[in-house]
């Protein structure tokens, strides 16, 4: 018991108040994001008619397209600007846009084109906020606590998904889709208040005067000039192509294979998120890793096996267990990769690097969502599950062949 208390007292969330403020603000806003994504998926599947599967794939593609188009430019802007101001601006803009979407729904004027347009704008501020966060973690903590801080930050999405998924159906039953939108706007406002309380100096690193485009090119040159780093990024981009469709396949399984209500969508999303949260949270107490590529191989292999199990499972409780395993694999893999990059990328380059990383990893997702939406419509949901699971299993062995990044734990 004393050891557990000691670990808790030395955890980055206990030691660094500003990191704790950012963490809590992100948890609240990300819970709202989960309500928002469940509400959008169910609204599209319920109102888009016979082509609802295609439109669900398209709206998910729209939500990641801005990351691909604007990510590196926004990362460069983050490196040149006070990170706190960047986060505040992104939160304020997203709160206003989600509120506008709720008002359209309340007035009965929301249609697919309004939804596509506003979701595109909301998603456009995501890479700006996330690149600023990635560039701030080390400055809000310490080099010794950085691996634990990265794991804790990686658990934000998973923890919020647990609460958001578990409460999503309750909120929608009580307040409807518009209520979920309003909650998301309030979440961004809460994140804004938390970031406003940060006192650590997050001004850009001192550097020689250079133009925006020169720094933009420098960030690209760093990423593409390091073969081990680029190899791992490209492997995870391929991983994302075959794993990201699970985000649209889960609602399809509930709606079309099981013929269940939004309650079971929330249950499945909860177990998927709970697996990610459990593993990411446990890794936040781990001070260092040994063979990090071996861990990555195990994570991708577990993801492929769990994903493949969805093809055969008809029992809802078995589906919950498989989604928990898939979530744990995804949370572990993401945490390990981010720790590796945080430990090796220079601090003054992090905003640009992580925006390029996000862009390359997300660039495949719009195509993945659209391809799986079409295949699910023309063939079947089960075909999509089998195809993606087989590809992930093959990719797990590719991880073992990648050139190694020189990782030296603090």
Q: Tell me how far the alpha carbon of residue 267 is from its chain's centroid.
A: 19
Nearest to 263 by CA among 271, 250, 273, 254: 254
Where are the chain's structural domains? 2-199+208-399
Q: What angle do CA 245, 338, 371 make, to 5 degrees?
A: 15
As a whole number, mean pLDDT of residues 126-144 equals 75
Rg (CA), the chain: 20
Q: Sign of torsion, CA 391 246 44 359?
A: negative
Q: Find the mean pLDDT for residues 233-239.
A: 80
Note the pLDDT tens digit of each residue in 319-375.
Answer: 888 888 888 887 777 777 777 777 777 666 666 677 667 776 777 777 787 788 788
Distance CA(1)–CA(6), nearest Å, equals 9
280-294: per-residue pLDDT in tens? 666 666 555 567 777
Instruction: Kindly tell me if the per-residue pLDDT of 410 is higher than 60.
Output: no
Please write the tens of the pLDDT for every residue from 142-168. Answer: 777 766 676 666 666 656 666 665 566
As a whole number of angstroms, the distance between CA 336 and CA 292 comes to 7
pLDDT tens sequence across 62-121: 777 776 676 666 666 666 778 888 888 888 888 898 888 888 888 878 888 888 888 888
Per-residue pLDDT at 73: 66
Instruction: Give the confidence band of 407 by pLDDT, cuts at 50, 70, 90.
Output: low
- Contact between 65 and 127 under an 8 Å Cβ cutoff? The reply is no
pLDDT at 208: 46
Task: Reply yes or no on whether the pLDDT at 213 is more than 70.
Answer: no
CATH code at 2-199+208-399: 1.20.1250.20
- pLDDT higher at 313 or 175: 313
DSSP state at residue 257:
I
- The answer to whether 154 and 338 are in contact (CB under 8 A) is yes
Banded pLDDT at 16 (limits 50, 70, 90) = confident
């Amino acid at each position: 018991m004393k050891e557990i208390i000691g670990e808790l007292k030395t955890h980055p969330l206990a030691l660094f108040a500003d990191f704790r403020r950012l963490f809590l603000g992100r948890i609240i806003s990300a819970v709202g994001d989960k309500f928002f994504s469940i509400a959008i998926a169910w609204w599209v599947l319920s109102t888009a008619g016979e082509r609802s599967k295609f439109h669900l794939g398209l709206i998910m593609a729209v939500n990641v397209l801005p990351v691909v188009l604007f990510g590196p430019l926004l990362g460069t802007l983050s490196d040149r600007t006070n990170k706190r101001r960047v986060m505040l601006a992104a939160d304020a803009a997203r709160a206003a846009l989600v509120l506008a979407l709720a008002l359209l729904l309340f007035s009965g004027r929301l249609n697919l084109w309004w939804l596509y347009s506003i979701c595109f704008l909301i998603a456009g501020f995501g890479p700006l906020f996330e690149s600023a966060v990635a560039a701030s973690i080390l400055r809000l903590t310490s080099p010794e606590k950085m691996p634990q801080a990265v794991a804790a930050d990686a658990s934000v999405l998973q923890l919020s998904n647990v609460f958001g998924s578990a409460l999503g159906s309750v909120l929608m039953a009580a307040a409807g889709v518009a209520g979920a939108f309003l909650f998301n706007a309030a979440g961004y406002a809460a994140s804004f208040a938390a970031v406003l309380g940060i006192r650590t100096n997050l001004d850009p690193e001192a550097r020689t005067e250079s133009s925006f485009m020169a720094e933009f090119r420098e960030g690209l040159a760093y990423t593409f000039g390091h073969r081990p780093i680029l190899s791992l990024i490209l492997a995870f981009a391929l991983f994302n192509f075959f794993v990201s469709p699970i985000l649209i396949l889960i609602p399809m399984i509930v709606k079309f294979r099981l013929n269940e209500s939004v309650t079971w969508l929330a249950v499945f999303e909860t177990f998927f998120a709970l697996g990610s949260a459990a593993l990411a949270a446990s890794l936040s107490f781990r001070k260092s890793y040994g063979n990090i590529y071996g861990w990555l191989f195990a994570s991708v292999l577990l993801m492929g096996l769990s994903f493949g199990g969805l093809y055969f499972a008809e029992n809802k409780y078995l589906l919950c267990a498989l989604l928990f395993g898939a979530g744990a694999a995804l949370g572990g893999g993401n945490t390990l990769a981010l720790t590796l990059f945080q430990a090796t990328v220079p601090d003054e380059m992090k905003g640009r690097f992580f925006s390029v990383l996000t862009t390359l990893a997300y660039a495949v997702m719009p195509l993945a969502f659209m391809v799986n939406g079409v295949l699910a419509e023309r063939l079947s949901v089960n075909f999509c599950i089998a195809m993606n699971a087989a590809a992930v299993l093959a990719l797990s062995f590719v991880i073992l062949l990648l050139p190694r990044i020189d990782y030296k734990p603090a």
